[in-house]
Amino acid sequence: MTVTILGIGVDLVHLPRIANLLGRRDPERFARRILSETELLQWKDLDASRQAQFLGVRYVHFLDKVTDRLQLMCSWCVKEAAYKAFYPTVKPRWKELTYRGMLECRKPTLEYHPMEKEKAKKIERVHVSVSHDGEYVYSSVLIEGSLIIL
Protein backbone atom coordinates (compact mmCIF):
# COMPACT_ATOMS: atom_id res chain seq x y z
CA MET A 1 0.00 0.00 0.00
CA THR A 2 1.33 3.44 -0.89
CA VAL A 3 0.14 6.96 -0.18
CA THR A 4 -0.40 9.04 -3.28
CA ILE A 5 -2.25 12.10 -4.50
CA LEU A 6 -5.82 11.03 -5.25
CA GLY A 7 -6.98 14.41 -6.48
CA ILE A 8 -6.58 18.15 -6.66
CA GLY A 9 -9.51 20.54 -6.77
CA VAL A 10 -9.81 24.31 -7.04
CA ASP A 11 -12.70 26.75 -6.88
CA LEU A 12 -13.23 30.47 -7.30
CA VAL A 13 -16.23 32.24 -5.76
CA HIS A 14 -17.43 35.70 -6.74
CA LEU A 15 -18.75 37.03 -3.42
CA PRO A 16 -21.59 39.18 -4.82
CA ARG A 17 -23.13 36.02 -6.35
CA ILE A 18 -23.34 34.39 -2.90
CA ALA A 19 -24.43 37.70 -1.35
CA ASN A 20 -27.27 37.88 -3.85
CA LEU A 21 -28.27 34.32 -3.01
CA LEU A 22 -28.26 35.12 0.72
CA GLY A 23 -30.29 38.28 0.08
CA ARG A 24 -33.07 36.21 -1.51
CA ARG A 25 -33.16 33.32 0.94
CA ASP A 26 -33.44 32.69 4.64
CA PRO A 27 -29.85 32.64 5.96
CA GLU A 28 -30.59 29.81 8.41
CA ARG A 29 -31.99 27.62 5.64
CA PHE A 30 -28.90 28.29 3.56
CA ALA A 31 -26.64 27.56 6.56
CA ARG A 32 -28.44 24.26 7.25
CA ARG A 33 -27.94 23.24 3.62
CA ILE A 34 -24.20 23.89 3.36
CA LEU A 35 -22.74 23.62 6.87
CA SER A 36 -21.76 20.39 8.59
CA GLU A 37 -23.31 19.66 11.99
CA THR A 38 -20.20 21.03 13.73
CA GLU A 39 -20.22 24.23 11.65
CA LEU A 40 -23.97 24.71 12.16
CA LEU A 41 -23.66 24.39 15.95
CA GLN A 42 -20.84 26.92 15.87
CA TRP A 43 -23.01 29.28 13.79
CA LYS A 44 -26.03 28.92 16.09
CA ASP A 45 -23.88 29.79 19.14
CA LEU A 46 -23.11 33.22 17.69
CA ASP A 47 -25.23 36.31 18.34
CA ALA A 48 -27.22 37.68 15.38
CA SER A 49 -24.57 40.14 14.21
CA ARG A 50 -21.86 37.45 14.30
CA GLN A 51 -24.20 35.05 12.48
CA ALA A 52 -24.50 37.63 9.72
CA GLN A 53 -20.70 37.92 9.59
CA PHE A 54 -20.37 34.14 9.51
CA LEU A 55 -22.73 33.99 6.54
CA GLY A 56 -21.11 36.93 4.82
CA VAL A 57 -24.05 39.33 4.73
CA ARG A 58 -22.34 42.57 5.86
CA TYR A 59 -22.39 45.05 2.98
CA VAL A 60 -22.17 48.68 2.03
CA HIS A 61 -25.27 49.76 0.03
CA PHE A 62 -26.74 46.26 0.05
CA LEU A 63 -25.00 44.12 -2.58
CA ASP A 64 -22.87 47.00 -3.88
CA LYS A 65 -19.62 46.12 -2.13
CA VAL A 66 -18.78 43.17 0.08
CA THR A 67 -16.79 44.43 3.06
CA ASP A 68 -15.87 41.07 4.56
CA ARG A 69 -14.65 37.74 3.23
CA LEU A 70 -16.27 35.48 5.74
CA GLN A 71 -16.63 31.92 6.88
CA LEU A 72 -19.54 30.76 4.74
CA MET A 73 -18.02 32.12 1.56
CA CYS A 74 -14.77 30.31 2.32
CA SER A 75 -16.62 27.16 3.37
CA TRP A 76 -18.61 27.17 0.13
CA CYS A 77 -15.46 27.63 -1.95
CA VAL A 78 -13.44 25.00 -0.05
CA LYS A 79 -16.21 22.41 -0.23
CA GLU A 80 -16.62 22.94 -3.99
CA ALA A 81 -12.86 22.47 -4.45
CA ALA A 82 -12.91 19.44 -2.14
CA TYR A 83 -15.62 17.70 -4.14
CA LYS A 84 -13.50 18.10 -7.27
CA ALA A 85 -10.45 16.67 -5.46
CA PHE A 86 -12.30 13.72 -3.87
CA TYR A 87 -14.15 12.70 -7.04
CA PRO A 88 -14.21 9.93 -8.33
CA THR A 89 -12.52 8.15 -5.40
CA VAL A 90 -15.39 9.20 -3.15
CA LYS A 91 -18.34 11.55 -3.56
CA PRO A 92 -18.53 13.56 -0.34
CA ARG A 93 -21.70 15.31 0.77
CA TRP A 94 -21.55 18.94 1.93
CA LYS A 95 -22.34 17.94 5.50
CA GLU A 96 -19.53 15.35 5.60
CA LEU A 97 -16.98 18.16 5.23
CA THR A 98 -16.14 20.62 8.03
CA TYR A 99 -14.08 23.69 7.20
CA ARG A 100 -12.13 25.34 10.00
CA GLY A 101 -10.03 28.44 9.78
CA MET A 102 -11.37 31.95 9.80
CA LEU A 103 -13.31 31.97 13.07
CA GLU A 104 -10.60 30.05 14.87
CA CYS A 105 -7.88 32.37 13.48
CA ARG A 106 -5.78 29.44 12.35
CA LYS A 107 -4.48 27.74 9.25
CA PRO A 108 -7.42 26.47 7.24
CA THR A 109 -8.26 22.79 7.57
CA LEU A 110 -10.91 20.55 6.11
CA GLU A 111 -12.16 17.55 8.06
CA TYR A 112 -13.85 14.66 6.29
CA HIS A 113 -16.36 12.65 8.32
CA PRO A 114 -18.14 10.29 5.92
CA MET A 115 -21.46 8.79 6.88
CA GLU A 116 -20.25 5.50 5.36
CA LYS A 117 -17.04 4.61 7.22
CA GLU A 118 -15.77 2.45 4.36
CA LYS A 119 -15.18 5.61 2.27
CA ALA A 120 -12.86 7.05 4.94
CA LYS A 121 -10.36 4.21 4.63
CA LYS A 122 -9.20 5.51 1.25
CA ILE A 123 -8.39 9.03 2.49
CA GLU A 124 -5.14 9.69 4.39
CA ARG A 125 -4.82 13.51 4.46
CA VAL A 126 -6.66 16.57 3.19
CA HIS A 127 -4.70 19.76 2.48
CA VAL A 128 -6.49 23.07 1.93
CA SER A 129 -5.45 26.59 1.03
CA VAL A 130 -7.73 29.63 0.86
CA SER A 131 -7.01 33.08 -0.52
CA HIS A 132 -9.22 36.09 -1.03
CA ASP A 133 -8.94 39.47 -2.67
CA GLY A 134 -11.68 42.02 -3.13
CA GLU A 135 -14.81 40.25 -4.29
CA TYR A 136 -13.19 36.85 -4.81
CA VAL A 137 -12.35 33.81 -2.69
CA TYR A 138 -10.09 31.10 -4.14
CA SER A 139 -9.41 27.69 -2.63
CA SER A 140 -7.39 24.64 -3.51
CA VAL A 141 -7.69 21.18 -1.97
CA LEU A 142 -5.31 18.25 -2.33
CA ILE A 143 -6.32 14.74 -1.23
CA GLU A 144 -3.78 12.07 -0.30
CA GLY A 145 -4.86 8.50 0.00
CA SER A 146 -3.98 4.84 -0.10
CA LEU A 147 -3.77 2.77 -3.20
CA ILE A 148 -3.18 -0.98 -3.10
CA ILE A 149 -0.43 -1.88 -5.56
CA LEU A 150 -0.67 -5.44 -6.89
Please give the model's pTM, rounded to 2 decimal places.
0.75
pLDDT beyond 70 at 17: yes
The C-alpha atoms of residue 92 and residue 75 are separated, in whole angstroms, by 14
Read off the pLDDT of residues 71-90 as tens digits, 9 standing for 90 and up. Answer: 677 888 899 999 999 998 88
Helices 27-34, 37-44: axis angle to 10 degrees equals 150
Identity of residue 137: V
Tell me the helices (H) and strands (E) count for the chain, helix number first. 6, 7
Number of CB atoms found within 10 A of residue 138's CB: 16
The domain spans of the chain are 2-147
Identity of residue 135: E
CATH class belonging to 2-147: alpha beta
The C-alpha atoms of residue 129 and residue 63 are separated, in whole angstroms, by 27
